[in-house]
Amino acid sequence: MAGSFNVCIPVRVNSAKSHSKRVIIRFPLPYKVGDLQHPGNAEEKIRSEAATFIWIRENCPTVPIPYLWGFGLPDGKSVCDIM
């Protein structure tokens, strides 16, 4: 599945502790966000979207949004289970 700026990959995660879960992994398309011409644009997009999810969850709890399990940056750094 692809949108204007991301490609989304549906994944089913199986766990011995619980039922399987369906998740979506989103990747920004570097050629769409201008990362080739302006390195860092993809990272800024990821950080901005993660911060927006966190802000909405903390300040607008009645607004339904997907659960953010984590995110990874192009340099290999990652944050997991942040919400």
Rounded to two decimals, the pTM is 0.73
Chain centroid to Cα 57, Å, comes to 15
Chain centroid to Cα 79, Å, comes to 10
Could you read off the pLDDT of 2-30 as tens digits, one per residue? 567 788 999 988 877 778 888 888 888 87
Angle of CA points 67, 69, 72, to nearest 5°: 130
Residue length, the chain? Answer: 83
The contacts of residue 79 (CB under 8 Å, 6+ apart) are 50, 70, 71, 72
Identify which has the larger pLDDT, 54 or 3. Answer: 54
Could you read off the pLDDT of 60-72 as tens digits, one per residue? 999 999 888 888 8
Ordered by start, the domain boundaries in the chain are 6-80
What pLDDT was estimated at residue 58? 93
Element housing 63 (H / E): none
